[in-house]
């Protein structure tokens, strides 16, 4: 189910200057009252000032003030560029949407070194309901509207936004790191960089404050300019004297910017650990994706994203969504958001349910587990649950989110969001105890009439990963009467595949031609992970894709060489 919505926000409940309404339920059967989470104070200040860009609206209190995470095994310096886990520098002009560039820098980095991708920031800018907001961008990716390839919708000269263009990867996990508490609270970001890849971080940024001599940045002044970059490394010994003004101590994050290759050190710069705003007022994020060839049906009611949360004055709450199956593909996974650094969950899947009764029907699956980080989580069912077309089923979650009295993730109208929030009765339900359920749309009169629970269900199969480390080399055979030009393709087995690979398929197109012009070239076995394209001329210029095919005939996403 791919969804595109774009319209002006039409009414939202506010209290005081910009706080959410918290009126009690009218005639609710649940003896406890659900309360809406407050807005992020930094977001409120930005709206009151009329800033063009603003940080996340989400209340991040549960992730603030945590005990510092200290990892003595971390090296004093590290750089993802040394590991070939960073893609090229991008330029965000003429449109200022640095949040998107920071998130895609993270996603492209987490896919490396096995795959090299260049995703279209322009397409996400068109599909996100608020391209400056972390939640809206994650929402667009989680609903499978993005990412698409840069070649299919280039930053400059692209076509009008096409909501029907399918995502080439499925974003199934986004890690939210706690805000940095102080100048030395850096090890969470460092560990995430080493283990996963680039980390998208927001900061206060003014180009005039950059030290051009050392490509360094440090400020204690709250400028209205919110900027997003990707942390790709660090240097604990970067001297404090290299910052203007001089920082209180040594140390800097190495950051990938989106201001082109002429900015800083070929597009990179150093941000002091002592910067007063770097990663302090919103959530650093790591974006991870899996092949689009695995989960193939996305049941959802939250296309905008998780913009608020509900709670019953407790770390624990229950929430549920009912769906109607549109295919016979089995239910394989569910997803939701959590804003506590730790927690426990229990998931129930019911089939053949009655409308409005999330725990009716047959209990088809039940499993439990723990969460060790905040973010957007996809959980695989222990065994797939068979579904039939038009069968009504429900997903029920009991979640305890540590330190978070608003554990229920919801999509809810937010000040400043230019989006059309929609909901219908019979879709989303909330409960304090899992016994007495309330339909969210009718829970407090009109308060939640356009709100839904952020709980998705996915039908499909295990992902099939493409070949890793694809390379193309141009060889020349200097024969007696002529020169033969040959393209040698080579690749490796992707270590994440769980189903045996039976063959590889090679496709090609002329360089510069649209991606829909790729044609099948050959199929090879699994013994020799290479292929020679012979009979070329000196002017032959082709782009290649290689896919993996399982014994059951399922084909992976393509792997390709990105210039």
pLDDT tens track for 52-111? 777 788 999 999 988 889 999 999 999 999 999 999 999 988 766 799 999 999 999 999
- Domain hosting 544: range is 468-560
Query: Which of 264, 286, 308 is where one domain is finished?
Result: 286
Same domain, 450 and 433: yes
Question: How many whole angstroms separate alpha carbon 13 and alpha carbon 33?
Answer: 17
Total count of domains within the chain: 3
Low-confidence ranges of the chain (pLDDT < 50): 1-28
Same domain, 423 and 325: yes
Same domain, 107 and 154: yes
Assigned domain for 117 exists: yes
Q: What is the pLDDT of residue 31?
A: 67
Q: What is the pLDDT of residue 161?
A: 84
Q: What is the pLDDT of residue 30?
A: 66
Assigned domain for 342 exists: yes
Same domain, 337 and 434: yes
Same domain, 519 and 555: yes
Query: Which of 433, 460, 487 is where one domain is finished?
Result: 460
Residue 107, domain CATH: 3.90.70.10
Query: b/e map of 382-413 (b: 16 or more CB within 10 Å)?
Result: eebbebeeebbbbbbbbbbbbbbbbbbbbbbb
**Does the bond joining 94 to the residue before it have cis omega, within 30 degrees of 0?**
yes
Per DSSP bridges, beta strands 226-235 and 199-204 are: antiparallel
Which residues on adjacent β-strands are paired with residue 349?
A: 365, 395
Same domain, 278 and 337: no
Same domain, 272 and 415: no
Assigned domain for 230 exists: yes
* Secondary structure letter of residue 516 according to DSSP: G
How confident is the model over 276-320, as pLDDT tens digits?
999 999 999 999 999 999 999 999 999 999 999 999 999 999 999
Which residues on adjacent β-strands are paired with residue 230?
A: 200, 256
Query: Which of 286, 303, 328 is where one domain is finished?
Result: 286
Question: How many whole angstroms separate alpha carbon 111 and alpha carbon 171?
Answer: 11
Same domain, 318 and 446: yes
């Amino acid at each position: 189910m791919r969804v595109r919505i774009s319209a002006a926000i039409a009414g939202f409940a506010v209290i005081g200057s910009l706080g959410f309404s918290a009126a009690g339920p009218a005639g609710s059967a649940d003896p406890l009252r659900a309360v809406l989470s407050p807005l992020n104070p930094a977001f409120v200040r930005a709206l009151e000032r009329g800033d063009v860009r603003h940080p996340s609206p989400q209340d991040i209190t549960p992730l603030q003030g945590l005990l510092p995470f200290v990892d003595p095994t971390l090296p004093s310096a590290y750089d993802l560029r040394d590991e070939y886990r960073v893609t090229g520098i991008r330029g965000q002009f003429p449109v200022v949407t640095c949040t998107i560039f920071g998130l895609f820098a993270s996603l492209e980095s987490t896919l490396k070194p096995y795959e090299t991708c260049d995703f279209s920031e322009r397409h996400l800018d068109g599909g996100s309901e608020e391209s400056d907001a972390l939640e809206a961008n994650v929402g667009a990716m989680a609903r499978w509207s993005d990412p698409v390839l840069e070649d299919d919708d280039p930053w400059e000269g692209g076509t009008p936004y096409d909501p029907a263009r399918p995502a080439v990867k499925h974003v199934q996990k986004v890690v939210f790191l706690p805000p940095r508490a102080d100048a030395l609270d850096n090890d969470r970001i460092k560990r995430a960089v080493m283990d996963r890849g680039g980390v998208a971080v927001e900061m206060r940024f003014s180009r005039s404050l950059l030290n051009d001599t050392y490509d360094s940045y440090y400020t204690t002044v709250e400028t209205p300019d919110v900027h997003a970059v990707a942390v790709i490394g660090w240097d604990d010994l970067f001297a404090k004297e290299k910052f203007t003004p001089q920082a209180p101590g040594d140390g800097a994050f190495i950051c990938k910017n989106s201001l082109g290759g002429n900015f800083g050190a070929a597009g990179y710069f150093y941000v002091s650990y002592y910067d007063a705003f770097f990663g302090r007022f919103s959530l650093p994020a790591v974006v991870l994706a899996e092949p689009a060839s695995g989960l193939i049906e996305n049941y959802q009611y939250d296309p905008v994203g998780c913009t608020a949360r509900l709670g019953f004055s407790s770390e624990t709450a229950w929430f549920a969504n009912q769906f109607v199956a549109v295919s016979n593909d089995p239910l394989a996974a569910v997803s939701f958001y959590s804003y506590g650094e730790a927690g426990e969950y229990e998931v129930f899947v019911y089939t053949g349910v009655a409308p409005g009764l999330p725990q009716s029907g047959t209990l088809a699956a039940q499993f439990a587990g723990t969460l060790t980080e905040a973010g957007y989580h996809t959980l695989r069912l222990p065994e797939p649950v068979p579904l039939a077309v038009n069968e009504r089923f429900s997903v029920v979650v009991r979640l305890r989110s540590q330190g978070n009295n608003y554990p229920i993730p919801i999509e809810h109208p937010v000040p400043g969001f230019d989006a059309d929030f929609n909901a219908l009765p019979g879709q989303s339900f909330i409960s304090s105890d899992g016994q007495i359920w309330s339909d969210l749309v009718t829970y407090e009169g009109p308060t939640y009439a356009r709100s839904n629970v952020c709980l998705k269900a996915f039908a499909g199969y295990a992902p099939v990963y493409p070949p890793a480390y694809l390379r193309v080399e141009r060889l020349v055979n200097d024969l007696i009467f002529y020169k033969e030009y040959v393209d040698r393709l080579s690749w490796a087995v992707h270590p994440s595949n769980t189903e045996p690979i039976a063959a590889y398929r090679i496709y090609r197109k002329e360089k510069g031609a649209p991606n829909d012009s790729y044609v099948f070239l050959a199929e090879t076995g699994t013994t020799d992970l290479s292929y020679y394209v012979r009979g070329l001329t000196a002017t032959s210029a082709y782009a290649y894709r290689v896919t993996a095919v399982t014994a059951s005939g399922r084909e992976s996403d393509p792997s390709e060489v990105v210039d």
